[in-house]
Amino acid sequence: MTASVETLLEALPYIREFHGRTVVIKYGGAAMTDESLRDGFATDVVLLKYVGLNPVIVHGGGPDITDYMQRLGMEVRFIEGVRVSDPATVEVAKMVLLGKVNSDIVGRLGRHGQAAVGLSGEDGALFEIRPHERADDFGFVGEIERVSIDVIDHIAEDYIPVIASVGVDSDGHSYNVNADTAAGKVAAALCAHKAIFLTDVAGWLADPDDEGSVRSRATVSEVEAALGSSAGGMRPKLGACAEAVRGGVGSAHIIDGRRPHSLLLELFTDAGIGTMVTPDALETT
Ligand code: ADP
Ligand code: MG
């Protein structure tokens, strides 16, 4: 058999399993900074829709926001992987996420053959937001109290929903929301089959300085136990994986967005890649 036929046959059981299922994909970081990776990502998502999955994209845009803030001479600061957000920072984040990143993704998906619709937390009252419990440290960083999935479900019937992780509270103040956190909430609210987080490392690393130390599997309890000692952007990502799986999502995956077509490799090959977070094994009595 030729390799391409084998590849298709390997994919078949996965295509069958995933048909009609919702997959929430958190897009950001490395897979967003390189033109060919951006295009590869769009091709992959379009393919998912064509083979009958229901892809929902939640994106950040950290590097772009930082780039524009620096162009404007603004100070960029992170605490525990969360961007410290004064009102001016939120304004720039909102403009960059919606005006640039979101519209780029929507346009690209359209050009590859699947029409997409861009949304922020305000559209269709998607996110109900309250200030983060550590507002004194983080500023206008919002926590999502509730995800109203109606608008996603309506759009997903015909289009690919592309969600920017910003929103407003009931008083009309804008908030920056960590995109991993938002993706975890959206996945849980949709009771998605999978939540997949594309990042700029090979997965969750046992030793952050050793790319070879990827933990290929972890249970949700193991992830929760490691949260306190996790650093940087991995902390909200692991928190989001735990939230998704506790909320009923079948599995959460942290995969290498630098690798071309990492989404397809994760979904349709036996090997899988990166880190898979699963529910705790059922106790056997
Ligand atoms: P994104 O959200 O775009 O994927 P982040 O920078 O927010 O990117 O999060 C990924 C980063 O988390 C990695 O580049 C790495 O520097 C950092 N990190 C900290 N601890 C770990 C760890 N244990 N495993 C993997 N990455 C880690
Ligand atoms: Mg991040």
- In percent, how much of the chain has pLDDT > 70? 98
In whole angstroms, give the CA distance from residue 77 to residue 64: 14
Dihedral sign (CA 108, 113, 115, 119):
negative
Query: Is the pTM value of this prediction over 0.85?
Result: yes
Q: Tell the residue nearest (CA) to atom 9 of ligand 1.
A: 233
User: Taking Cα atoms as reference points, which of 193, 178, 185, 203 lies closest to residue 244?
Assistant: 185
Model pLDDT, residue 96: 96
> What gap in Å lies between CA 103 and CA 119, rounded to an integer?
10
Structure confidence at residue 231 (pLDDT): 86
Residue 81 predicted with pLDDT over 80? no
What was the pLDDT predicted at 167?
93
The reported pLDDT for the residue numbered 4 is: 87
Q: Is 54 in the pocket of ligand 1 (CB under 6 A)?
A: no
Distance of CA 94 to the CA centre of its chain: 17
Mean pLDDT along residues 133-137: 91
Residue 69 pLDDT greater than 60, yes or no: yes
The mean predicted confidence, pLDDT, of the chain is 93
Structure tokens that stand for 83 in this block: 């961007």
28 lines ligand 1 (CB under 6 A): yes
Question: Atom of ligand 1 at shortest distance to CA of 81?
Answer: 7
For residue 170, report the phi and psi dihedrals to the nearest 5 degrees. -70, -15
Q: Is the pLDDT of residue 116 over 70?
A: yes
- Which tops the pLDDT comparison, 143 or 81? 143
Among 198, 201, 209, 255, say which to mutate for ligand 1: greatest number of ligand atoms within 8 Å of CB. Answer: 201
Q: How confident is the model at residue 62 (pLDDT cuts 50, 70, 90)?
A: confident
- Calculate what percentage of the chain has a pLDDT beyond 90: 85
Write the pLDDT tens digit of every residue in 225-248: 999 999 888 999 999 999 999 999
- pLDDT above 60: residue 192: yes
DSSP helix/strand/coil, 143: strand
Residue nearest to atom 10 of ligand 1 (CA): 233
Evaluate if residue 3 carries a pLDDT over 90.
Answer: no
pLDDT value of residue 282: 57
Which residues, 6 or more positions from 177, have their beta carbon under 8 angstroms from its beta carbon?
121, 127, 129, 141, 142, 143, 144, 165, 166, 167
Residues 132-150 have a mean pLDDT of 93
How does residue 281 score in pLDDT terms, banded at 50, 70 and 90? confident
Cα 248 to Cα 23, 217, 280: the distances in Å are 13, 18, 12
Cβ(29) – ligand 1 distance below 6 Å: yes
Residue 42, amino acid = A
Residues 6+ away with beta carbon under 8 Å from 80: 231, 232, 235
Q: How confident is the model at residue 220 (pLDDT cuts 50, 70, 90)?
A: very high
pLDDT tens digits, 10-43: 999 999 999 999 999 999 877 888 899 999 999 9
Please enumerate in sequence order all residues whose Cβ is within 8 A of that of 93, keeping only pairs 6 or more positions apart, or say none: 61, 65, 83, 85, 166, 176
Instruction: Check residues 232 and 100 and name the one with the higher pLDDT.
Output: 100
Residue nearest atom 7 of ligand 1, based on CA coordinates: 233
What does the H/E/C string look like for 172-183? CCEEECCHHHHH
